Structures are given as structure tokens and as C-alpha cells.
């Protein structure tokens, strides 16, 4: 099993977190998105990252890869077993992408100096979700799940974009502390991601 990954892409990070959480011994091959090797391009017609090869199977969408890994290696389970709860969890991951991921991507596209509005909207949206962060041990669950694998990499990147959370977001910071403290999260970080200083989220005013 081989995972083709960028060193800093958030979608790649969340797949690496699933691998680490499940203890899957996949080979991680870091690829420069601007200059991918020919053998990678031959595998993936879209040339996007992450991409995974498992024997004759080639997958190239982070959400598909995450769910495949959870079903291929069922212990520990990161998705609910019943269809209704599973569908609800998938919807949460989708909403994270549509709402918070979209704002983070706008910030990265515009640059820190031109993205003040997007930063404000992301900060305010996190504040509005404080009660959800504080309701359970993890996001909407007492068990670590694929939702957390999607959410934690986003929170880790906030300090690198100058996004600080105030004291009123203590449940968010407490959640981040729990997730960032998991051995699997530390293992999932590339050397470059380690420099994002996500722990700064816990120290903001």
C-alpha cells in the first residue's frame, strides 16, 4: 500500500492521520504537486493528491481513501456502523469541507494580507460552534472518528495563518488539546507541518 502525499496539503494530512490512527503500515511517498513524477501521473489521470495504491486499486480522493481505509482495516472503527449515523457523519465531513475548508482555502489562495474577511468569517464560525465542541469528548462523539481526522488538520493550521481564538472558545482549544495530544496525530505530521505550531492555538489570548 502506497500513499502519494504532499508535505503540507490538508487533504493529504487527514489521510495520513487515518493511517496513523489505525496503525496501517503504508509507504508514504511525498510528491511535489507542481512537478509530479511520471509514474504518479500515469496512475492518476487527474494528477491530484492524495492518491493511494493498494495492489491493483488506485484511489485519488481523500474522503474516498479515508472511508476505504476504515472499511479495509475495521479496527478501531472510525465510522458509525448503522446506516443513519454513518450518513450523518458523512454529512458533517461534507459540511466541514463546504464551510471551514472553503474559508481556509480562500485564505491560502489570497494570502494572509488579503484574506482578513475570510479569517474573520472562519473565526466567527468556530465561535458559533463552541457548544458542539464542548458537548462531547470529540466532535459530536465520545469516540475519535473520521470527523476528527478531517477537522484536526484544519485547526492545526490556524496559527500559521495568524488566526487566534479568544478565551470564549475554550471548548475549541480543549478539543484541540485532546486531539493534538494523540500519538497518532503527532505521527501524522510531516516535518513541514510540525512547523505550523498548531499548539499555538492553545496559547492564544
Q: What is the CATH number of the domain that holds 43?
A: 3.40.30.10
Q: Tell me, yes or no, whether 66 and 88 share the same domain.
A: no
Q: Tell me, yes or no, whether 161 and 114 share the same domain.
A: yes
157-170, pLDDT tens digit by residue?
999 888 888 778 89
Q: Tell me, yes or no, whether 56 and 128 share the same domain.
A: no
pLDDT value at residue 37: 85
Phi/psi at 21 (5° precision) = -65, -35
Q: Tell me, yes or no, whether 68 and 100 share the same domain.
A: no
pLDDT value at residue 131: 94
Q: Which helix (H) or strand (E) holds 3?
A: strand 2-5
Q: Tell me, yes or no, whether 93 and 68 share the same domain.
A: no
This prediction's pTM? 0.91
Q: Which of 175, 89, 94 is nearest to 130 (CA)?
A: 175
Q: Tell me, yes or no, whether 105 and 56 share the same domain.
A: no
Domain with 55 in it: 2-72
* Domain assignment of residue 63, yes or no: yes
Q: What is the CATH number of the domain that holds 160?
A: 1.20.1050.10
Amino acid at each position: 500500500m502506497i500513499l502519494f502525499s504532499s508535505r503540507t496539503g490538508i487533504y493529504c494530512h487527514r489521510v495520513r492521520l487515518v493511517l496513523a490512527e489505525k496503525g496501517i503500515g503504508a509507504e508514504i511517498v511525498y510528491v511535489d504537486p507542481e512537478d509530479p513524477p511520471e509514474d504518479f501521473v500515469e496512475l492518476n489521470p487527474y494528477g491530484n493528491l492524495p492518491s493511494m495504491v493498494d495492489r491493483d486499486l488506485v484511489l485519488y480522493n481523500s474522503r474516498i481513501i479515508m472511508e476505504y481505509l476504515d472499511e479495509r482495516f475495521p479496527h478501531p472503527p472510525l465510522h458509525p456502523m448503522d446506516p443513519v449515523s454513518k450518513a450523518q457523519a458523512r454529512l458533517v465531513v461534507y459540511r466541514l469541507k463546504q464551510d471551514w475548508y472553503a474559508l481556509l482555502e480562500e485564505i491560502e489562495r489570497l494570502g494572509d494580507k488579503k484574506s482578513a474577511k475570510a479569517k474573520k468569517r472562519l473565526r466567527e464560525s468556530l465561535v458559533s460552534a463552541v457548544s458542539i465542541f464542548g458537548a462531547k469528548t470529540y466532535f459530536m462523539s465520545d469516540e475519535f472518528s473520521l470527523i476528527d481526522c478531517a477537522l484536526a488538520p484544519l485547526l492545526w493550521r490556524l496559527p500559521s495563518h495568524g488566526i487566534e481564538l479568544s478565551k470564549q472558545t475554550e471548548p475549541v482549544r480543549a478539543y484541540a488539546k485532546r486531539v493534538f495530544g494523540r500519538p497518532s496525530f503527532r505521527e501524522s505530521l510531516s516535518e513541514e507541518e510540525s512547523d505550523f505550531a498548531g499548539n499555538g492555538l492553545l496559547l492564544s489570548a
